[in-house]
Amino acid sequence: MDDVDLAILRELQRDGRIPYAELGPKVGLSPSAARQRLQRLTDAKVVQVVGVTDPMAMGGQSMAMLGLRVDGDPRVVADVLSHHEEVVYSVLTSGSFDVFAEVVCRRPAELLDFINDVVRPVEGVTAVENFPYFGIHTHRFLWDVD
């Protein structure tokens, strides 16, 4: 990644819907060159341009972070859980938990069912701690790309 790629990423963080006609001149390229650069970054999976939703506004009224303790390889557990649409985010970590999984369900009863019927039976899961959300306070996708 060079300085132009970083400039493209900064502009996309400000406005992910910026037209190429505006993006190009802001980063010192023609619109078509900016499109080609962004396509290269997208193909390399450096950047993904998506619409970000608020799950609570979309009807997912029961959100929680699940802290999982795992006996064995936590990557295997994270892979199993990643196949379930309720899991929107997962990370491997250290400390008290081996995996954190962010889960979105429509109702509290569905969250309970998901934890008991899907998560607990996964081979290697030894404990699940549920941290329910009352609301999303801060949700940003701005990282320093310098």
Identify the structural domains of the chain with CATH numbers, from first to last: 3-43 (1.10.10.10), 62-132 (3.30.70.920)
Strands 87-92 and 125-132: unpaired
State the amino acid at position 119 in one-letter form.
V
Q: What is the pLDDT of residue 18?
A: 92
Q: What is the pLDDT of residue 126?
A: 98
Q: What is the pLDDT of residue 1?
A: 82
Q: Which positions of the chain have pLDDT values less than 70?
A: 52-60, 140-146
Q: What is the pLDDT of residue 138?
A: 75
Residues in the chain: 146
Q: What is the pLDDT of residue 26?
A: 95
CA gap 86, 142 in Å, rounded: 24
Cβ neighbours of residue 53 under 8 Å, at least 6 residues apart? none
Q: What is the pLDDT of residue 47?
A: 84
Q: Which residue has the tokens 């295997």?
A: 76
Composition of the chain by helix, strand, coil, percent to 5: 35, 20, 40
